[in-house]
Amino acid sequence: MDGSATFITDTSRTTMNCAARRAHITDSLVRVAAREGPHAVTMRAVATEAGTSLNLVQYYFATKAQLMHAALARLEEQSRARWAARSAALSRPVGARAFVEALLAEALPTDEPSRAFHLAWTSYAVLAMTDTELAAQPFVDGPDRLEKELAGVLAHARRAGELSGACDPAGEAAHLLTLAHGLGTSVLVGQRTADAALRILRDHLDRILPCATP
């Protein structure tokens, strides 16, 4: 193997190590937030949880806002991977009703991974209302992408005659995400169980997708 090939291999290995370290640090933040609450998240607390030095955490993330945004982006990536797994498990061909339900069910905190995601995102949103550095981070990009994707699915369902004619796809996409987020928060605070929240979501889907097969 010549010198240039060795250099490429070493560079790739370094890149993967850096990505793994960043992921380990952001996962540590999520564990601290889930166990002790978002108020307990500090750079030092995350370093302790990660079993590394504060300097190393600060090397990868100059500020707490950057660290929190990276953690949120990783949670979104993991959430989309879980949704992809749900989608892959659906019977083919996949109808609009089944697709939408699988997509929105991932937004409910029905297990520890989805609970961590919902808790982190909600906490982030509240903090961003008063923290200008956090507010400067584009944390609504993920929900915006999801809303557009959902609107596209509903528009296709309307053309296929599956979506109720009285429903506007874009408006209904916003409605559904707002409903899912509100239900998720109600599960987090103990107002209702995850199963009860899912029943409410399914009841609404029954009304807007009357021609779809669940």
Q: What is the model's pLDDT at position 11?
A: 42
pTM: 0.72
* 7 Cβ neighbours under 8 A, 6+ residues apart: none
Q: What is the model's pLDDT at position 136?
A: 66
Cα separations in angstroms, 90 against 83, 108, 119, 141:
11, 18, 27, 27
Q: What is the model's pLDDT at position 10?
A: 44
Q: What is the model's pLDDT at position 6?
A: 43
Please, what's the b/e burial string for 141-161 (b: 16 or more CB within 10 A of its CB; e: otherwise)? ebbeebbeebbebbbebbeee
Across the chain, which has 214 residues, the per-10-residue mean pLDDT values are 45 64 92 83 94 95 88 82 80 82 84 80 75 67 83 90 85 93 91 94 89 49
User: CA–CA separation, 184 vs 194, rounded Å?
Assistant: 8
For residue 81, count other CB atoms closer than 10 A to its CB.
Answer: 12
Token output for 161: 């005659």
DSSP H helices, 136-193, are 141-159, 169-188
